[in-house]
Amino acid sequence: MGTVIDSHFLALTAIVTVGYQLVFFVVTALLKFDKVTDFAGSTNFVILAVLTLVVKGSWNFRQVVLSMLVVIWGLRLGLFLLMRILRWGEDRRFDEMRENLGKLAVFWIFQAVWVWTVSLPVTVVNASDRDPSLQAVDIIGWIMWSLGILVEATSDQQKLTFKNSLENRGKWCNVGLWKYSRHPNYFGEIFLWWGIFVAATPVLEGAEWLVIFGPIFLTLLLLFVSGIPLLEESADKKYGNVSAYRHYKRTTSPLIFLPPALYGNLPSWLKSTLLFEFPLYSRSLPQENWLVSITLDFEANQIRMMGVFVKTGAFETNVLCFFNNKLRKT
C-alpha cells in the first residue's frame, strides 16, 4: 500500500494516538471514571502496531514478529491492569486530579507522548521497505523480549496474589521475584522494550536510529518520573518506621536482580552509580531514631544522661530522658 501522510508513519501514529487518548480523557473527565486509564495506554500500543503493519501491507517476517510481540505485551498488561483496578476500586493516582481538569489533561497528554515515543521502533520497522535477512540481533532481541515479559508477568501475578491474601494486609510484597528486586515488573518492562529495539536494528538506517529514544524514554520515565519514585515514596510513607521494611529496602536492589546478602553489603557509592539506588528513592523515608549517651564531667560533679532523638522530616524533636542522674562528690 502507498505512503500515508508520511513515509515513516510518524504523523499517522501521532494523530491516532492523540485521538484515542482524547476519547478516554473525555470519558474520564465527564464521568469521573478512571478505571480505564492503564487499559487505554496499553491497548494504544496494540492499535499502533496493528495499524502500521496493515497500512504498509508488506507483511514481512520481522514486521509480523515485532508487531505480535507488542500485541501480546499490550493485551496482557492492559487486561491485567483493568481486572486489577476493577477488583481494587479507585485508582489513587487520580485522587488529586478528578476535580482538577488541568492536571488530568497533563496526565493524558503525557500518556499519549509515552505511547507514541515508546512505539517508535516498531512503527519505523513496519513502515520500512527494507527486509534484510534474519540476523543474530533479531534472535537476541526476541530472547530479551521473552525474558522481559516473563519477568513482568510473573512479578505482576506474584504481587497480586500477595495483596489479595488477607494475612498480608498492611504488608509490602517481598516474595518470589520481589525478594531480589523491589521493582521486578519494571525491570521486565524495560528489558522487553530494549529487546524490541535490538530486534529492530537490522532495518534501521541513518536518522532512523533515533528510535532508540523510545526505550531510553521508557527507562528514564520509570527510573525518575512516574514509576519507581512514586512507588518508593508511597511505600516509605506507609512502612518507613517499620524496621523490617527498612532492612528489606537496604538489602534489596531497586531494579536489577541481586541476592539480598550480596546487595546489602555493597558500598553505597556502587549502589548509586551502577545499580540505580538513587537518593530520590529515599527522600520520603523517615530517618531512624538513635540513642545518644552524654557524660558531662565538671570537676567534682558528674551528670549522666540518655538522650533519645527523633527526626521527622524537616524538623527535629529532642526528648531527653534522664534515667540516671547522679550528682556526687569525688
Q: Which of 131, 156, 178 is the last residue in one of the domains?
A: 131
Report d(CA 11, CA 48) in Å as an integer.
Answer: 12
Instruction: Flag whether 126 is in a domain.
Output: yes
CB atoms within 10 A of CB 330: 7
Q: C-alpha angle 227/229/230, rounded to 5°?
A: 75
- What residue numbers bound the domain in which 78 lies? 1-131
- pLDDT bracket for residue 266 (50, 70, 90): very high
Strands across the sheet containing 301-312:
290-298, 301-312, 315-321
- pLDDT value of position 197: 98
Residues 30 and 89 in one domain: yes
Residues 65 and 174 in one domain: no
pLDDT digits (tens, 9 = 90+) for 116-127: 999 999 999 999
Report d(CA 286, CA 311) in Å as an integer.
Answer: 7
- pLDDT value of position 126: 97
Per-residue pLDDT averaged across 206-211, rounded? Answer: 96
Q: Which of 108, 131, 154 is the last residue in one of the domains?
A: 131
Instruction: Flag whether 329 is in a domain.
Output: no
Residues 261 and 117 in one domain: no
- pLDDT value of position 90: 65
Residues 15 and 123 in one domain: yes
Residues 122 and 151 in one domain: no
- pLDDT value of position 104: 85
Per-residue pLDDT averaged across 131-149, rounded? Answer: 97
- pLDDT value of position 103: 84
pLDDT digits (tens, 9 = 90+) for 54-97: 999 999 999 999 999 999 999 999 999 999 888 876 666 666 66
Residues 102 and 208 in one domain: no
Instruction: Flag whether 262 is in a domain.
Output: yes
How is 99-149 classified by DSSP, letter by letter?
A: T-HHHHHHHHHHHHHHHHHHTHHHHHHHH----PPP-HHHHHHHHHHHHHH
Q: What is the tally of structural domains in the chain?
A: 3
Instruction: Flag whether 328 is in a domain.
Output: no
- pLDDT value of position 102: 84
The three cell numbers locating residue 159 = 504481587
- pLDDT value of position 313: 37
- pLDDT bracket for residue 307 (50, 70, 90): very low
Residues 76 and 94 in one domain: yes
Q: Residue 288 pLDDT more than 80?
A: no
Residues 277 and 236 in one domain: yes
Report d(CA 202, CA 237) in Å as an integer.
Answer: 46
The three cell numbers locating residue 27 = 470519558
The SS3 call for residue 299 is coil
| 269 alpha carbon, distance to own chain's centre | 22
- pLDDT value of position 34: 75
Contact at 8 Å (CB) between 148 and 189? yes
Report d(CA 111, CA 42) in Å as an integer.
Answer: 10
Q: Residue 293 pLDDT more than 70?
A: no
Instruction: Flag whether 327 is in a domain.
Output: no
- pLDDT value of position 292: 40
Residues 202 and 314 in one domain: no
Q: Which of 131, 156, 190 is the last residue in one of the domains?
A: 131
Contact at 8 Å (CB) between 137 and 204? no
Per-position b or e across 54-90, b if 16+ CB within 10 A of its CB:
ebbeeebebbebbbebbbebbeebbebbbebbeeeee
Of 134 and 93, the one with more pLDDT? 134
Task: Rounding to the nearest 10 degrees, give the CA dihedral for residues 223, 122, 130, 53.
Answer: 180
Residues 266 and 141 in one domain: yes
Residues 263 and 167 in one domain: yes
The three cell numbers locating residue 68 = 505480535
Per-residue pLDDT averaged across 238-258, rounded? Answer: 96
Instruction: Flag whether 33 is in a domain.
Output: yes
Let me know how long the chain is: 330
Q: Residue 17 pLDDT more than 80?
A: yes
Report d(CA 70, CA 293) in Å as an integer.
Answer: 60
Mean residue pLDDT across the chain: 86
Q: Residue 324 pLDDT more than 50?
A: no
Instruction: Flag whether 326 is in a domain.
Output: no
Instruction: Flag whether 330 is in a domain.
Output: no
Residues 231 and 159 in one domain: yes
